[in-house]
């Protein structure tokens, strides 16, 4: 489904991604962990081309998408993204947030989009919040609206950039539950998170990234309990504490 080959990214003199290779199968959930500043967010943004990679290839269903002739909008339409800070459109209601993409990008009929939007909000447990504005919702509710907003585009895969790290502890559970449900329904997902419970239960593989390189890759069991690399062990011991 998604393949990344020798991905390179510089910000000025900073070498952020130093040759990343990864592959995610259809319906698979890949969790990425790593210290802050290791390039996790940049990697996700390179996959849906919110950030343009300097080198390497990004493939979506076998098609290289980081070529000049491929429309960036077309790529992003198919790969949904959920942000750490939710980024809900503050001037729109929950329902309008969900339907804006379908109406403006997919040119869906507004009535149909609204029906579908309400169904999606119900799916993330917010059927009764359709007319609420983001500022009236809790963090957990906002993030679930953001997930519904991404789902409304019928994406082939979803990227989650630390979806729970801006949340108060009591709201983390509800967001992770929605994500686990999505995974169970067969959504292809790449998730940057430090939620070990989620990673162990939902992910098949975990990738540990440090300083722009993949240090280790393996099943949750291996990474958390018997990592091969010293750096992985040091990091895991910090977040397990």
Partner 1 sequence: MATTVGSAIRRSFDRGLTLKTLQRAAEMAVGAILFIVILEVVLHFNVLDSTLWSLYGPYYFLTGIVGTLYYLAIIIPISVVVGFAVGWARLSRLRVLTWPLSVYVDFFRGMPPIIIVIFASLLGPSLIPARFHSEDLGILMAAFALALHSGAYQSEIFRAGFMSVPRGQLEAAQSLGMTRGQAMQFVVLPQALRLSVPPLANELAVVIKDTSLLAIIGSLDLFGLSNIFSQQSVFGSNQLWWVFVVWTAVALVYFVMTFSVTEVLNWIDRRYHVKGLEAISV
Q: Which positions from 17 through 56 interact with partner 1, judged by CB under 8 A?
A: 48, 50
CA distance 149 to 89: 10
Among 1, 59, 70, 100, binds partner 1 (CB under 8 A): 100
Residue with tokens 């003199």: 13
Q: How far is the CB of 136 from partner 1 (least distance, A)?
A: 4
Question: Helix/strand/coil (H, E, C) string of 2-57?
Answer: EEEEEEEEEECCEEEEEEEEEEECCCCEEEEECCCCCCHHHHHHHHCCCCCCCEEE
- Position 88 contacts partner 1 (CB under 8 A): yes
Pick between residue 158 and residue 214 the one whose CB is nearest to partner 1: 158
Among 1, 132, 180, 196, binds partner 1 (CB under 8 A): 132
CA distance 36 to 40: 8
Are the C-beta atoms of 120 and 152 separated by less than 8 Å?
A: yes
Are the C-beta atoms of 232 and 208 separated by less than 8 Å?
A: yes
Total residues binding partner 1 (CB under 8 A): 34
Q: Which positions from 152 through 211 interact with partner 1, judged by CB under 8 A?
A: 153
Bridge partners of 25, per DSSP, are none
> CA angle, 160 as apex, 166 and 98 as ends, to 5°?
90
Among 105, 180, 196, 211, binds partner 1 (CB under 8 A): 105
Among 21, 25, 37, 74, binds partner 1 (CB under 8 A): 74
- Position 89 contacts partner 1 (CB under 8 A): yes
- Position 226 contacts partner 1 (CB under 8 A): no
Among 69, 73, 111, 185, binds partner 1 (CB under 8 A): 73
Q: How far is the CB of 64 from partner 1 (least distance, A)?
A: 19
Residue with tokens 């939710």: 86
- Position 81 contacts partner 1 (CB under 8 A): yes
CA distance 186 to 1: 13
Positions that interact with partner 1 (CB under 8 A): 48, 50, 72-74, 76-78, 80-81, 83, 85, 87-91, 100-101, 104-105, 128-136, 146, 149-150, 153
């Amino acid at each position: 489904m998604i393949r990344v080959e020798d991905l390179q990214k510089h910000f000025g003199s900073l070498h952020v991604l130093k040759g990343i290779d990864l592959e995610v199968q259809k319906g698979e959930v890949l969790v990425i962990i790593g210290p802050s500043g290791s390039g996790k967010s940049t990697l996700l943004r390179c996959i849906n081309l919110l950030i343009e990679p300097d080198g390497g290839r990004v493939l979506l269903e076998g098609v290289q998408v980081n070529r000049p002739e491929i429309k960036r909008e077309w790529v992003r339409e198919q790969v949904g993204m959920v942000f750490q800070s939710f980024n809900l459109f503050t001037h729109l209601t929950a329902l309008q947030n969900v339907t804006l993409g379908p109406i403006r990008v997919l040119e869906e009929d507004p009535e149909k989009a609204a029906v579908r939007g309400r169904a999606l909000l119900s799916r993330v447990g917010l059927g009764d919040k359709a007319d609420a504005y983001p500022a009236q919702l809790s963090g957990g509710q906002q993030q679930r609206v953001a997930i519904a907003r991404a789902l409304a585009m019928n994406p082939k895969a979803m990227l989650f950039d630390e979806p729970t790290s801006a949340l108060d502890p009591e709201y983390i559970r509800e967001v992770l539950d929605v994500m686990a449900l999505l995974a169970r329904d067969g959504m292809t997902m790449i998730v940057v998170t430090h939620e070990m419970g989620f990673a162990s239960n939902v992910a098949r593989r975990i990738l540990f990234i440090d300083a722009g390189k993949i240090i280790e890759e393996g099943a949750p069991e291996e990474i958390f309990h018997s990592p091969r690399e010293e750096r992985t062990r040091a990091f895991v011991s910090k977040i397990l504490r």
